[in-house]
Structure 1
Amino acid sequence: MYNKGLKAYASVGVSNQVVTADPYRVIQMLLQGALDKMAYAKGAIERKDFAAKAENLTKSVAIVNALQDALDMDVKAEVTNNLFDLYSFIIDQLTDVSVDNDITKLEETMFVLRQIKEGWDAIPVSAREEGLRMQAERQAAGA
C-alpha cells in the first residue's frame, strides 16, 4: 500500500514531503489535497471559472482514485470495503458536480471526505505502529 500511495501522491503533483512521510502521513496528505482541490473547484464554480473548476475537480478525482487504489483489499476488513464504497460515492459525486456545477452536492461530498479525514487523523500512534508492523509481516511472508 505504501508504494502505491507514494506513486499516487506523486502522480497528482504534490510536494517533496511525501518522500520522507510514513504511510499514515501520505494518506493524510492525500485526503487534505483532495479537500483543497474541492475547495478550489467550489470557488471556481462561484466565479464561473469553468476551466479552473474542471482542473480542480479532475485533480480531486485523481486523488480520491489514488486513495481508493491504495486500499489493501487483501485485508478482508469491513472498514476497507466501506472506504472503497465511500471513495466510489465521492468520485461519482464529483463527476456529477463537474457536469451540473452543483455547489450543494460539492459541499456534501467535501463533508463526507472531511469525516474520513477526521477519522484518519484520530488514529492513535500505537494503532498506526501496529498497522505498519502487521503490514511488514504480511509483506515478509509474501516475499
Structure 2
Amino acid sequence: MLNNPYQQYRQTQIQTASPGELVLMLYNGAIKNINLALEHLGRGEKEEFRQKIDKALDIVTELMVNLKPEGGEITKNLSSLYDFVINRLITGSAKYDEKEIKEGLSIITGLRDTWKEMLEGTKKKLE
C-alpha cells in the first residue's frame, strides 16, 4: 500500500493514462533522469550520475522493446533513434562525456516533443 500522497497520485495517473500518455511519461522520465545525471556529473557525483543514466537507459530500452513490428518504416526509424540514444548514453557514461550525453538528450527530447504534438493534435480532432 502506498502511504505517500505523491506516490498515490502518480500510481493513479499511470493507471488512468492512455497508451499514448504512458509513452509521453516514459519520454519525460528519460529526459528528467538524463538532466539529473548531467547535474550530478557537473558536481562530480559519479555514483549518482551513473544511477540516473541507468534509469534513463532502462526507460529508453523499454520504449525500444515495445515498438510494434507492424509499424514498418516508422518502427525501423524509431528503433535506430533509440539505439543511437542508448549508444550515446552508454558511451557518455563510460567516458563521463557531457557532450555525448547531451547528444542523446537532444534526440530523446525531439522525439518527446514530436510525440506530445501528435497527442495534442489527436485530442483536438476528438473534441
**TM over 0.5, yes or no?**
yes
Deviation at 1:67, TM superposition (A): 0.5
Change (3 A) 1:19 1:46: same
Pick from 92, 97, 112 the counterpart of residue 92 of structure 2.
Answer: 97
Instruction: Report how many residues are paired.
Output: 114
Please say if residues 93 and 105 of structure 1, whose CA atoms lie closer than 8 Å, have aligned partners that are also in contact. yes
Give the gaps of 5 or more residues in structure 2.
Answer: 1-9
Matched, 1:112 2:110: no
Q: Residue 26 of structure 1 aligns with which residue?
A: 22
Deviation at 1:52, TM superposition (A): 0.4
Q: Residue 71 of structure 1 aligns with which residue?
A: 67
Q: Residue 85 of structure 1 aligns with which residue?
A: 80
Please say if residues 24 and 128 of structure 1, whose CA atoms lie closer than 8 Å, have aligned partners that are also in contact. no
Deviation at 1:75, TM superposition (A): 2.7
Q: Residue 45 of structure 2 aligns with which residue?
A: 49
Structure 1 moving runs of 4+ over 6 Å? none
TM-score by length of 1: 0.75
Q: Residue 125 of structure 1 aligns with which residue?
A: 122
Give the gaps of 5 or more residues in structure 1.
Answer: 1-14, 130-143
RMSD: 1.7
Identity %: 25
Please say if residues 92 and 99 of structure 2, whose CA atoms lie closer than 8 Å, have aligned partners that are also in contact. no
TM-score by length of 2: 0.84
Change (3 A) 1:106 1:22: same
Distance of 2:93 and 2:102 partners within structure 1: 13
Deviation at 1:110, TM superposition (A): 0.7
